[in-house]
């Protein structure tokens, strides 16, 4: 059966596209749905609709916007079953992980709905009062990747709306369906033009990022794509939030119980087949516990069930797309020469993009599997003897999104964490994100902030009102 009844959302109307495209099920490598795609005229119509809606939306009271964002969360919950199946079919993740993504999506909407943008009093003396106000920017473009189509949209859409902006959403070309269905649900709740959703073949990004009537772009994607967005947005000096590539390092100290921490490390590295921006992608392990941790992780990998995400007991689905599948196969083959594969490494002989969870040891900085962000189910483990060696190696990357330290000595772990070059550093866990806590990268992992109060303020212009009382 092919799904065909998808519509884009422009100016409050559900419409078809200028063209159509197939959507591939990564578990079969075959099309399972047909999706409408916008042309340039439809993108321009979406921007015009958002512009028209902006004065009314930005002038609504914050409590009205908060209530509407809460209702969006309710809509996500009430349609979770349908949305989860769409996510699994178009993205590949197991159905239970798709349900988790939906529950987290609704939770992020609800948490953002509790936030506010109050006037801040900077100074109030006998001669002057200085206030900081936050003002909506205008039309905001949100560009969302394929690994968590709805959850990563929940990082962006609720704060954009709460701040009083109107929005254009462009989902990834390979995962547009759940987002389009979400748009149908949200269209019944939001004023026309406040939210617009356009799908594309991957060709409309430059038109959106350079559009003179778009005030801000928020992108989650690769570093290479982020650089292109910066160039495209430069002529109009747009506000930018760019959450880009990561090659997160973890450092394991000699005082841990390797068997005890192995499940948490495995989850941090392999969730969603490792297709997570803050997945643990390089693991530096002290020589005293190296062999034991390799053995424990290999045992978990070897026992994992890899199958279609619709199969009830599947722990891992396929890699999302053919290009990523081919890249990971190349990294695995290179690892056979540069290191030792101790678990996995097999390309499953069946339709679809299936790769078993793979553990590689006897590698070091300078090999592809360590230096490149694999964004797939492969974890390299690097042995070290001195902690300074591990810190230098962990920092030896253009990326700096996340990192972690694993230790029974919290004070020692904090001291090491402060020497790591990353925007978020976890201790004895990795990859946990919270809507109340700011999240940002360093180096080539991005600019700007998502989540938390700082993430909400990214969708505003700071305005200082300086009042002279001596008139």
**3-state secondary structure string, the chain?**
CCECCCCEEECCEEECCCEEEEEEECCCCEEEEEEEECCHHHHHHHHHHHHHHHHHHHCCCHHHHHHHHHHHHHHHHHCHHHHHHHHHHHHCCCHHHHHHHHHHHHHHHHHHCCCCCCCEEEEECCCEEEEEEEEECCEEEEECCCCCHHHHHHHHHHHHHHCCCEEEEECCCCCCHHHHHHHHHHHCCCCCCCEEECCCCCCCHHHHHCCCCCCEEEEECCHHHHHHHHHHHHCCCCEEEEECCCCEEEEECCCCCHHHHHHHHHHHHHHHHHCCCCCEEEEEEEHHHHHHHHHHHHHHHHHCCECCCCCCCCCECCCCCHHHHHHHHHHHHHHHHHCEEEECCCECCCCCCCECCEEEECCCECEHHHHCCCCCCEEEEEEECCHHHHHHHHHCCCEECEEEEECCCHHHHHHHHCCCCCCEEEECCCCCCCCCCCECCEECCEECCECHHHHHHCCEEEEEEEEECCC
151-194 per-position pLDDT tens digit: 999 999 999 999 999 999 999 999 999 999 999 999 999 999 99
Instruction: Please compute the mean of the pLDDT values over residues 415-422 and round it to a whole number.
Output: 98
pLDDT beyond 90 at 35 = yes
Confidence class of residue 37 from pLDDT cuts 50, 70 and 90? very high
Of 190, 199, 237, the C-alpha closest to 217 is 237
Judged against a pLDDT cut of 90, whether residue 113 lies above it is answered with yes
Q: In this predicted model, what pLDDT tens digit does every residue of 218-261 receive, in sequence order? A: 999 999 999 999 999 999 999 999 999 999 999 999 999 999 99
Mean pLDDT, rounded, of the chain: 97
Please report the pLDDT score of residue 390 as a whole number. Answer: 98
Q: What number is the average pLDDT over the span 452-470?
A: 97
pLDDT at 2: 65
- 299-335 pLDDT, tens digit per residue, is 999 999 999 999 999 999 999 999 999 999 999 999 9
Q: Active-site residue numbers?
A: 243, 277
Residue 39, exposed/middle/buried by CB under 10 A (0-12, 13-18, 19+)?
Answer: middle
Of 2-6, 182-186, 251-255, 359-363, the range with the lowest mean pLDDT is 2-6
Model confidence pLDDT, tens digit, residues 141-154: 999 999 999 999 99
Percent of the chain topping pLDDT 70:
100
Pick from 102, 459, 424, 413: nearest CA to 277: 424
pLDDT in tens, 277-303: 999 999 999 999 999 999 999 999 999
Label residue 4 by pLDDT band (50, 70, 90): confident
CATH number of 248-434: 3.40.309.10
End-to-end, the C-alpha distance of the chain in Å comes to 75
Whole-model pTM?
0.97
Residue 52: is its pLDDT beyond 90? yes
CA–CA gap between residue 117 and residue 93 (Å, rounded) = 36
For helices 80-91 and 95-112, give the axis angle rounded to 10 degrees.
120
Asked if the model's pLDDT at residue 458 lies above 90, the reply is: yes
108's tokens:
């992020």
The answer to whether 419 and 433 are in contact (CB under 8 A) is no
Q: With 60 as the cut, is the pLDDT of residue 1 above it?
A: no
Rounded CA separation 139/137 (Å): 7
Spatial separation of the C-alpha atoms in residues 224 and 245, rounded to whole Å: 9
Task: Report domain extents, the chain.
Answer: 8-244+445-465, 248-434
Percentage with pLDDT > 90 across the chain? 98
The Cβ of residue 123 has, within 10 Å, a number of other Cβ atoms equal to 11
Q: Which of 20, 174, 171, 153 is nearest to 91 (CA)?
A: 174
For the domain made up of 8-244+445-465, the CATH class stated in words is alpha beta
């Amino acid at each position: 059966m092919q799904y065909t009844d998808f519509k884009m959302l422009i100016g409050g109307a559900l419409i078809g596209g200028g063209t159509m495209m197939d959507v591939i099920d990564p578990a079969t490598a075959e099309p399972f749905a047909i999706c409408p795609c916008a042309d340039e005229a439809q993108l321009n119509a979406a921007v015009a609709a958002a512009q028209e809606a902006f004065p009314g939306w930005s002038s609504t009271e914050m409590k009205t916007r908060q209530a509407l964002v809460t209702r969006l969360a309710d809509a996500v919950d009430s349609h979770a079953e349908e949305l989860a199946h769409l996510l699994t079919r178009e993205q590949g993740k197991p159905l239970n992980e798709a349900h988790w993504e939906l529950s987290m999506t609704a939770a992020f909407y609800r948490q953002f709905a509790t936030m506010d943008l109050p006037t801040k009093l900077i100074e109030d003396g006998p001669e002057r009062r200085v206030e900081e106000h936050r003002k909506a920017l205008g039309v905001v473009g949100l560009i969302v990747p394929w690994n968590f189509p709805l959850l990563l949209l929940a990082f962006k859409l609720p704060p954009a709306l709460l701040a009083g902006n109107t929005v254009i959403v462009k989902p990834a070309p390979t995962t547009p369906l759940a987002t389009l269905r979400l748009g149908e649900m949200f269209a019944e709740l939001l004023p026309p033009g406040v939210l617009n959703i356009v799908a594309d073949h991957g060709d409309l990004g430059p038109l959106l990022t350079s559009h003179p009537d778009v005030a801000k772009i928020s992108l989650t994607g690769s570093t290479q794509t982020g650089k292109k967005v910066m160039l495209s947005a430069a002529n109009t000096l747009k506000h930018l939030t760019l959450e880009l590539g990561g090659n997160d390092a973890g450092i394991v100290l000699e005082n841990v119980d390797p068997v005890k921490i192995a499940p948490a490390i495995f989850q941090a590295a392999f969730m969603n087949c490792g297709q997570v921006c803050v997945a643990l992608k390089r693991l530096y392990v002290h020589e005293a516990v190296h062999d034991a941790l390799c053995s424990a992780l290999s045992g978990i990998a070897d026992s994992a069930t890899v199958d279609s995400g619709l199969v009830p007991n599947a722990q891992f689905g396929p890699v999302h797309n053919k290009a990523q599948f081919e890249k990971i196969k190349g990294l695995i083959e290179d690892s056979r020469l540069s290191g030792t594969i101790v678990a996995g490494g097999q390309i499953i002989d069946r339709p679809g993009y299936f790769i078993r969870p793979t553990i590689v040891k006897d590698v070091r900085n300078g090999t592809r599997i360590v230096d490149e962000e694999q964004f797939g189910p492969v974890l390299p483990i690097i042995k070290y003897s001195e902690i300074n060696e591990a810190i230098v190696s962990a920092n030896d990357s253009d990326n700096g999104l996340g990192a972690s330290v694993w230790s029974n000595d919290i004070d020692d772990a904090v001291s090491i964490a402060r020497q790591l070059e990353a925007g978020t550093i976890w201790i004895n866990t990795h990859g946990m994100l919270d809507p109340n806590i700011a999240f940002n990268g360093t180096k080539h992992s991005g600019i700007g902030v998502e989540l938390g109060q700082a993430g909400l303020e990214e969708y505003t212009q700071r305005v200082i009102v300086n009042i002279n009382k001596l008139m």
